[in-house]
Structure 1
Amino acid sequence: MVSWNKILGVASVAAATALLGMVAFDVPYFKSVYFLRIDLGNGTANAVTANQTNPFIDLGVLGFCTDLKDGRGLQCSPAHVGYNLSDADQFINGTLPPQLSAGVNAVASTLTKVLVLHMVAFGIALISFAFAILSFLGAPIADCCSSCFCGFAGSAAFAVFIFDIAFFEIIKKRITNEGNAGAAIMGNALYLTLFAWLLLFITPILFLIGRCCGCCIPSGHSDHEKRNSY
């Protein structure tokens, strides 16, 4: 019989892996998931109204998507590591807006290279999920391996979450320093990364409970069998 903690452990690491996968392949793939939105309107947008009327650019791990509200809809850049926001000029008639000035663009093109660490966190979580499945199927050593890789994936997720906060604050400050209309809006990918880290933090605890309970159950059965033999 499979213990409840193993079921919860596998479900937890599966959910965390799925969340990290969505974040790693956010815009331009999952277009509703992004790290940071640069509002190109009057700077009054917020997380609630960001999708409404103002033109915007959403930044992800491997690229960006922009909707200039000019009737052409959402358009996205090719996916690659360390993209450059000046590529947005292919979607814009005329010069780039002040929110995408040289100062903002230089910082963004450097920081987006580091966002690839989300791919690393997703890869480690995927390995942990594989070991969790093996543990669920009864492989003894898989428990320990899954817990170890959960710890690694959780540490990686927490590290990239801290970087995401710094990434947002740096870009926001750069846009504010331009002295023009515009705003930087925190994206939902940060919250997904945080939830994934919490799940990966819980999972090793669930597997540890399972190992402790597993150690106790056999001894109980052994004593019962000895009494019956007498």
Structure 2
Amino acid sequence: MVSWNKILGLASVTAATALLGMVAFDVPYFKSVYFLRIDLGNGTASAAAVNQTNPFVDLGALGFCTDLKDGHGLQCSEAHVGYNLSEASKFLNGTLPPALTASVNAVASTLTKVLVLHIVAFGIALLSFGFALLAFFGAPIADCCSSCFCGFAGSAAFAVFIFDIAFFELIKKRVQAEGNAGAAIMGNALYLTLIAWLLLFITPILFLIGRCCGCCIPDSHPSHSKHKDYN
């Protein structure tokens, strides 16, 4: 019979791996998931209420998507490590909007290279999922390996989450420095990364509790030892 801790541990690491996968391959692949949105309107947009009629650029780990509200719909860059927002010029006829000026691009082109760490965190979580699956089917050493890799993946997820916050703040300051030219809005990928980190944080605890309880619970099977026959 599979113990409850293995079931919860597998479910937890599966959910965390799926979330990190969505974040690692967000825009231009998962177009509804992004780290940061640069609203190219008049700078009145906020995280609480985004004006969907304004043109925008969504930044992801491997590229960006933009909807300039010019009738062409959502258009995305090619996926590659490290990108420059000046690539958006091929989607429009004319000069880049003020929020995508050289000062913003200088920061973005450097920081987007570091976003590849999300793919590294996803890879480690994928290994942890593999060991959790083996532990679920009864491989003894897989429990320990899954806990170790969960710890590594959780540490990586937490590190990239901190970087994401810094990434957002730096781009936000650059956009605001351009005056009334747009607004930087925090994306949902940051929240997904945070949730994934929390799941990876509790998974080793679940495996540990299961091992400790398994050692302490007495054998419930009837004993087959011989009893003395008293005459």
| Class of the TM-score when normalised by the shorter of the 2 chains | over 0.9
Encode CA deviations 1:172-201: one digit per residue, 9 max, x unaligned. 001111223210000000000000000000
Encode CA deviations 1:141-180: one digit per residue, 9 max, x unaligned. 0000000000000000000000000000000001111223
Deviation at 1:78? 0.2
Deviation at 1:120? 0.3
Deviation at 1:215? 1.5
Unaligned runs of 5+ in 2: none
Q: Distance in 2 between matches of 1:8 and 1:210?
A: 10
- Return the letter of the residue paired with 1:152: F
Superposition TM-score, scaled by structure 2 size: 0.95
User: Identity of counterpart residues, as a percentage?
Assistant: 83
Q: Distance in 2 between matches of 1:191 and 1:208?
A: 27
Q: Distance in 2 between matches of 1:3 and 1:80?
A: 43
For the residue of structure 2 that corresponds to 1:225, the secondary structure is coil
- Return the letter of the residue paired with 1:225: S
Q: Distance in 2 between matches of 1:63 and 1:229?
A: 71
Q: Distance in 1 between matches of 2:199 and 2:206?
A: 10
Q: Give the structure 2 partner of residue 59 of structure 1.
A: 59
Deviation at 1:46? 2.3
Q: Distance in 2 between matches of 1:49 and 1:30?
A: 22
Q: Distance in 1 between matches of 2:216 and 2:223?
A: 15
Q: Distance in 2 between matches of 1:66 and 1:51?
A: 14
Unaligned runs of 5+ in 1: none
Q: Give the structure 2 partner of residue 229 of structure 1.
A: 226
For the residue of structure 2 that corresponds to 1:96, the secondary structure is coil
Q: Give the structure 2 partner of residue 199 of structure 1.
A: 199
Q: Distance in 2 between matches of 1:49 and 1:14?
A: 32
Bigger Rg, which one: 2
Q: Give the structure 2 partner of residue 178 of structure 1.
A: 178
Q: Give the structure 2 partner of residue 148 of structure 1.
A: 148
Encode CA deviations 1:69-102: one digit per residue, 9 max, x unaligned. 1111000000000011110000111000110110
For the residue of structure 1 that corresponds to 2:185, the secondary structure is strand
For the residue of structure 2 that corresponds to 1:229, the secondary structure is coil
Superposition TM-score, scaled by structure 1 size: 0.95
Q: Give the structure 2 partner of residue 12 of structure 1.
A: 12
Q: Give the structure 2 partner of residue 40 of structure 1.
A: 40
Deviation at 1:118? 0.1
For the residue of structure 2 that corresponds to 1:66, the secondary structure is strand
Residues 201 and 173 from structure 1, CA distance in 2 versus in 1: closer, same or farther, beyond 3 angstroms? same
Judging by fraction of residues, say which structure has more helix. 1
Q: Distance in 2 between matches of 1:42 and 1:229?
A: 86
For the residue of structure 1 that corresponds to 2:219, the secondary structure is helix
Q: Give the structure 1 partner of residue 162 of structure 2.
A: 162
Deviates more, 1:24-33 or 1:180-189: 180-189
